[in-house]
Structure 1
């Protein structure tokens, strides 16, 4: 059995290395993004992660898809993708999902705001503003301890830093009301002070992972840190680069980027347990997509050096493309979870597609796409 496993892993590595030998061309980036986007729309109501019914359209899983899909819509040669997203928003009256304080249920607000920027229709924005105004004036007072019965009314798990903070940053950018920014920064700092490991420059998924080891290594979940890294980029996109707030986020981002460069696998992906690639050799494309996105974003914005980080983006993107099927399904997406686990070539998830489309949007620009 071990011989068979080694053969499979070797085959995966070989396929990835072959794909990395190919030059990245903007037209080809756009082509594969279209293929993935079209496959996902066609399979939008499929079952994932052993679900008994499809994800709710306003669920965080789909919210993460929309974050990437709206980036692709801005690149596409027709309005098909904007209209698909717009129809979803109209169907649900531009409401956020069911839990008022829970960050996961805020994720779809990122897409609503981008559609508002496209169409300038106030109804797209009003429910999100109303809910966030309520939260701002009635903030949760719970602790960040994971065993708190009402623990997720604040951002006490690292995934939350992708889901909700960019919405606050976007509202600030649109309105100029600094109260949105001040609230977001205060809560982000509280989470970072709680979950960020200053030695490893990575985030614990939540308090329950602190002090635990997996094969002698600290447990830093790949997609969890991918949520954070992509979230940082999406937040900074909304801020003045000369502001103190931007510099705060940039400092964290650069610490993480340096670490991610050190721990990227030779095949181009990042292991599901970031410090344990020896024990998690299977590719995982959702976390790896977020890292490729964030690193390419940093080079495009001039905050990372291309000579230092460019090869990591190239390896990352070619590894990801190597796991896209001919009909456009992104494979090796780890199912819903909160810790390192398994992924399979024939298993996908909507948030993996969203992460891939985000990555492609920045890789396209990095290699000269207009």
Structure 2
């Protein structure tokens, strides 16, 4: 009996993982995206998280991340209803930023406003965002670049912020032609990177409370936190010419992170919640995995990453993600709001996970529809 068990184990271990072996077809990618997008819109004001019992504000960062992915899906969809849904959100919010003047999380919703402005050409959609960013540039915060017991939130003192605010400034620089948005964004981005980027690992600490601390011998690099950064880099780079110094700066970080990410992806296709400690956090997690899949596929589609080298990671990542979709269309295994590795469940989700999934799908679809 022991011999038979040993033989069976050898056979199982020798088989390619399902996530790696399953072929990806563009039509199926689009179908899965629509399933998840429709489920999320139906349940937009419901809660499927372990940590909350009321919906997020429509201008909250959580929903802002959803809108980033939903805009990308709206561009692909066969129906205009997704653009209309997003437009309805903007109109309900009167195209205003969220309530905290300096807080990066409360600027993120402007990414959606700007993309709708690009589609509809209505300047009403972006006037409040321009006003808000102009105020910050003209009255920069004097808080330090450290995050100490959550006292300092006016600057980008946590890595998530690099997804929330910098893309807004990059987009405004592009549509207005005013370099002040780029100058401010680049200065602050470099300050955050100097503070939180680990050049030995090519990953970002979530904030300074994790620098120098070990979790059973492992440095703690939060998956979704690095996903925020990696996904944000692609959004920023799309706003600058490829021969610009701004593009070159972000590209350097992007390529270093991409190389690291394919080295630490788990055999099952997801990235561990603590990127260097998969043994401590074996549970799959969808939001970080989706942002990484999005960023890597984007790099391949834009001729930055070698397809032969990076496509296996995209395939494994996407197939892992689609395996988390429930029969009703919900994307499971999305870690709740947090700032560090933790827990995720197959029947729990969050709106930012859906946004990341839709963003990933938009680039995976491009990869396999050519």
Give the TM-score, by structure 2 length.
Answer: 0.94
Q: Once superposed, what is the RMSD of the aligned Cα atoms?
A: 1.5
Once the two structures are TM-superposed, the CA of residue 52 in structure 1 deviates from its matched residue by 3.0
Once the two structures are TM-superposed, the CA of residue 21 in structure 1 deviates from its matched residue by 2.4
Task: Determine if the alignment matches structure 1 residue 130 to structure 2 residue 109.
Answer: no
Once the two structures are TM-superposed, the CA of residue 20 in structure 1 deviates from its matched residue by 3.6
Partner of 1:248: 249
Task: Confirm or deny: 8 A CA contact 1:324 1:330 kept in the other structure.
Answer: yes
1:237-316 alignment runs, 5 A limit: 237-316=238-317
Partner of 1:198: 199
Once the two structures are TM-superposed, the CA of residue 150 in structure 1 deviates from its matched residue by 4.2
Partner of 1:10: none
CA deviation string 1:253-276 (max 9, x = no partner): 011000001000000100000000
Task: Confirm or deny: 8 A CA contact 2:19 2:268 kept in the other structure.
Answer: no
Task: Confirm or deny: 8 A CA contact 1:223 1:272 kept in the other structure.
Answer: yes
Partner of 1:188: 189
- Measured in 2, the distance between the counterparts of 1:151 and 1:23 equals 46
- Measured in 1, the distance between the counterparts of 2:279 and 2:93 equals 45
1:100-115 alignment runs, 5 A limit: 100-115=101-116
Once the two structures are TM-superposed, the CA of residue 46 in structure 1 deviates from its matched residue by 1.1
Partner of 1:205, secondary structure, is: coil
- Measured in 1, the distance between the counterparts of 2:148 and 2:51 equals 26
1:89-100 alignment runs, 5 A limit: 89-100=90-101
Q: Which moved more, 1:359-368 or 1:147-156?
A: 147-156
CA deviation string 1:242-296 (max 9, x = no partner): 0001000000001100000100000010000000011111100000000000000
- Measured in 1, the distance between the counterparts of 2:253 and 2:332 equals 30
- Measured in 1, the distance between the counterparts of 2:212 and 2:295 equals 28
Partner of 2:122: 121
Once the two structures are TM-superposed, the CA of residue 78 in structure 1 deviates from its matched residue by 1.0
Count of matched residue positions in the alignment of Structure 1 and Structure 2: 357
Partner of 1:8: none
- Measured in 2, the distance between the counterparts of 1:93 and 1:304 equals 40
- Measured in 2, the distance between the counterparts of 1:147 and 1:292 equals 32
Unmatched runs of 5 consecutive residues or more in structure 1: 1-12
Partner of 1:35: 35
- Measured in 2, the distance between the counterparts of 1:174 and 1:88 equals 22
Once the two structures are TM-superposed, the CA of residue 148 in structure 1 deviates from its matched residue by 7.1
Partner of 1:151, secondary structure, is: coil
Instruction: Summarize the Cα distance change of 1:149–1:257 in structure 2 as closer, same or farther, 3 Å threshold.
Output: closer
- Measured in 1, the distance between the counterparts of 2:149 and 2:25 equals 49
Task: Confirm or deny: 8 A CA contact 1:70 1:82 kept in the other structure.
Answer: yes
Partner of 2:290, secondary structure, is: helix
Once the two structures are TM-superposed, the CA of residue 325 in structure 1 deviates from its matched residue by 1.2
Task: Confirm or deny: 8 A CA contact 1:222 1:274 kept in the other structure.
Answer: yes
- Measured in 1, the distance between the counterparts of 2:274 and 2:149 equals 26
- Measured in 1, the distance between the counterparts of 2:106 and 2:52 equals 18
Once the two structures are TM-superposed, the CA of residue 302 in structure 1 deviates from its matched residue by 0.6
Instruction: Summarize the Cα distance change of 1:25–1:132 in structure 2 as closer, same or farther, 3 Å threshold.
Output: same
- Measured in 2, the distance between the counterparts of 1:318 and 1:345 equals 15
Task: Determine if the alignment matches structure 1 residue 46 to structure 2 residue 18.
Answer: no
Partner of 1:177, secondary structure, is: coil
Task: Confirm or deny: 8 A CA contact 1:94 1:112 kept in the other structure.
Answer: yes
Task: Confirm or deny: 8 A CA contact 1:212 1:219 kept in the other structure.
Answer: yes
Task: Determine if the alignment matches structure 1 residue 25 to structure 2 residue 25.
Answer: yes
- Measured in 2, the distance between the counterparts of 1:343 and 1:121 equals 40
Task: Confirm or deny: 8 A CA contact 2:167 2:232 kept in the other structure.
Answer: yes
1:152-167 alignment runs, 5 A limit: 152-167=153-168
Once the two structures are TM-superposed, the CA of residue 31 in structure 1 deviates from its matched residue by 0.2
Partner of 2:349: 348
Partner of 2:63, secondary structure, is: helix
Partner of 1:361, secondary structure, is: helix
Unmatched runs of 5 consecutive residues or more in structure 2: 1-12
